[in-house]
């Protein structure tokens, strides 16, 4: 590669602000694991210098820098709009050769060779799941990125198709784009989900959240887009069908409240099984791994996902999964998950009931998941991402 022949160092800038969050969810975990894997790969390129930009000093393993990596803390006391003001100012004064934005928010001032990951365009399909500003910004930034930035990375072919649909919506006269610039690079998963968890840690997590017996597990925001309301109704129907297996079954909802939570809370409060519906709020990585290990079934009936990392985490944990069909989750799950139309309550109920009441079927899908998850890794994601970024430097 021509990059290896360069005499002058080349600078790759990466926005690490989201990876540095304490309470990470999907996008933040993506940024974190990708950066950590990229650290292991860049030593093969002695002329490459990497700068991690953040609004606060990096914490934990992010702060441990390999050779030729540095962090640059860009202070911004207002905290809000850090990307648009403080990072933009840095790009104006000290632009890197290539800028990588892993979390969908790019600075207005940016180098010509800027690469961004667009995780999904859910606001395009489900506008009521977002505030007006989130909806406007998400749609604008995704379409701008696909038309103007050097490259765009998406996590699935479904997301690429959806981004192209956004660009051509309404036969817009300015919809000039090159679909070849949209690169599909699947996410990985946290390998810790495949490692053993101590019985003491599992017992402590169960005790913390009051989970005594068998349970269904849903991880993600409690919101309209995640389809939490239908999940509660499906759980109620399973409980009403009775039987020894479901008598003590609980539903564990692990995540922060999101858009539409008021409706979800009222449904839960009105449920005759409300004592069996457990809300944990945001949970730590360790608690998530403990719960995933011992859940009877992981359920992910989301109306829309750009990828769906929790499905891979369930597979790695040896936990069978019921997930939505009709979006990216079929790319992720392959034949290793049971699928249901997320808008069809009966389908969601039946898929869950089958797994809950059939131990042989649970074991079959647990084994399928363990096989399927081996097709994904953060190392593979990082290698492909580094290739895109290095190619930007040499073209």
Looking at per-residue pLDDT, the higher value among 177 and 13 belongs to: 13
Burial of residue 198 (CB within 10 Å: 0-12, 13-18, 19+) is exposed
Distance CA 190, CA 187 (A): 10
| CA-based nearest residue to 24, from 116, 132, 103, 108 | 103
- Looking from the CA of 261 toward its CB, the CA atoms found within 13 Å total 11
Residue the block writes with tokens 């632009």: 95
- Give the least confident one: 109-118, 166-175, 239-248, 322-331: 166-175
Position 87 scores a pLDDT of 95
**99, β-bridge pairs:** 13, 114
pLDDT-derived band at 2, boundaries 50, 70, 90: very low
pLDDT mean over 255-262: 92
Distance CA 82, CA 67 (A): 27
Number of Cβ within a 10 Å radius of residue 19: 25
pLDDT-derived band at 381, boundaries 50, 70, 90: very high
pLDDT mean over 139-146: 91
Residue 323 has pLDDT above 50, yes or no: yes
Position 170 scores a pLDDT of 59
Burial of residue 153 (CB within 10 Å: 0-12, 13-18, 19+) is buried
What does each C-alpha distance from 277 to 90, 243, 266, 272 come to in angstroms? 48, 18, 12, 10
Tokens of 131: 């505030």
pLDDT mean over 191-220: 96
Residue 157 has pLDDT above 90, yes or no: yes
Residue 4 has pLDDT above 90, yes or no: no
| CA-based nearest residue to 390, from 44, 32, 88, 64 | 44
Position 7 scores a pLDDT of 57
Q: What is the pLDDT of residues 236-250, one digit of tens each?
A: 999 999 887 888 999
Task: Indicate the CATH number for domain 191-375.
Answer: 3.40.50.2000
Q: What is the CA radius of gyration of the chain?
A: 22
% of the chain beyond a pLDDT of 90: 82
| CA-based nearest residue to 339, from 328, 140, 156 | 328
Residue 173 has pLDDT above 60, yes or no: no
| CA-based nearest residue to 10, from 51, 40, 39 | 51
Q: What is the pLDDT of residues 29-86, one digit of tens each?
A: 999 999 999 999 998 898 999 999 999 999 999 999 999 999 999 988 877 889 999 9
> What is the chain's mean pLDDT, rounded?
92
Q: Where are the domains of the chain?
A: 2-188+377-394, 191-375
Tokens of 83: 């990307």
Concatenated DSSP letters of 190-201? -GGGGS---HHH
| DSSP character at residue 23 | S
Position 5 scores a pLDDT of 45
Distance CA 308, CA 122 (A): 13
pLDDT mean over 183-190: 97
Position 1 scores a pLDDT of 44
CATH homologous superfamily for 2-188+377-394?
Glycogen Phosphorylase B; (3.40.50.2000)
Distance CA 86, CA 109 (A): 10
Residue 210 has pLDDT above 60, yes or no: yes
Q: Do domains 2-188+377-394 and 191-375 have the same CATH topology?
A: yes
Residue 373 has pLDDT above 60, yes or no: yes
Distance CA 284, CA 163 (A): 32
Position 302 scores a pLDDT of 95
Number of Cβ within a 10 Å radius of residue 330: 17
């Amino acid at each position: 590669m021509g990059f290896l022949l360069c005499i002058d160092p080349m600078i790759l800038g990466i926005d690490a602000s989201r990876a540095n969050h304490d309470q990470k969810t999907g996008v933040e975990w993506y940024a974190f694991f990708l950066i950590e894997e990229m650290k292991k790969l860049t030593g093969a390129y002695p002329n490459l210098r990497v700068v991690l930009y953040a609004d606060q000093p990096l914490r934990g393993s992010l702060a441990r820098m390999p050779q030729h990596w540095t962090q640059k803390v860009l202070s911004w006391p207002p905290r809000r709009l850090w990307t648009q003001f403080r990072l933009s100012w840095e790009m104006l004064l000290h632009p890197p050769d290539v800028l990588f934005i892993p979390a969908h928010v790019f600075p207005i001032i940016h180098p010509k060779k800027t690469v961004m990951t667009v995780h999904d365009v859910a606001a395009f399909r489900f506008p009521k799941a977002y505030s007006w500003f989130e909806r406007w910004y998400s749609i604008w930034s995704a379409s701008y990125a696909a038309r103007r930035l050097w490259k765009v990375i998406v996590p699935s072919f479904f997301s690429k198709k959806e981004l192209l649909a956004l660009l051509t919506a309404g036969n817009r006269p300015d919809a000039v784009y090159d679909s070849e610039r949209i690169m599909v690079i699947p996410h990985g998963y946290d390998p810790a989900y495949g490692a053993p968890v101590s019985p003491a840690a599992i017992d402590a997590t169960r005790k913390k959240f009051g989970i005594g017996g068998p349970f269904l597990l849903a991880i993600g925001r409690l919101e309209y887009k995640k389809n939490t309301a239908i999940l509660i109704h499906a759980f109620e129907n399973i409980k009403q069908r009775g039987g020894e297996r479901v008598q003590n079954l609980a539903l564990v909802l692990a995540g922060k409240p999101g858009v539409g939570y008021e409706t979800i809370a009222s449904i839960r409060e009105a449920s005759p099984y409300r004592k069996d519906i457990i809300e944990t709020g945001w949970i730590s990585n360790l608690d998530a791994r403990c719960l995933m290990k011992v859940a009877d079934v992981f359920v992910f009936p989301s109306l829309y996902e750009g990828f769906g990392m929790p499905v891979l985490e369930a597979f790695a944990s040896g936990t069978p999964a019921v997930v939505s069909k009709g979006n990216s989750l079929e790319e992720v799950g392959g034949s290793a998950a049971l699928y249901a139309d997320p808008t069809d309550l009966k389908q969601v109920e039946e898929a869950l009931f089958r797994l809950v009441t059939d131990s042989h079927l649970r074991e079959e899908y647990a084994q399928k998941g363990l096989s399927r998850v081996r097709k994904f890794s953060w190392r593979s994601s990082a290698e492909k991402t580094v290739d895109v970024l290095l190619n930007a430097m040499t073209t």
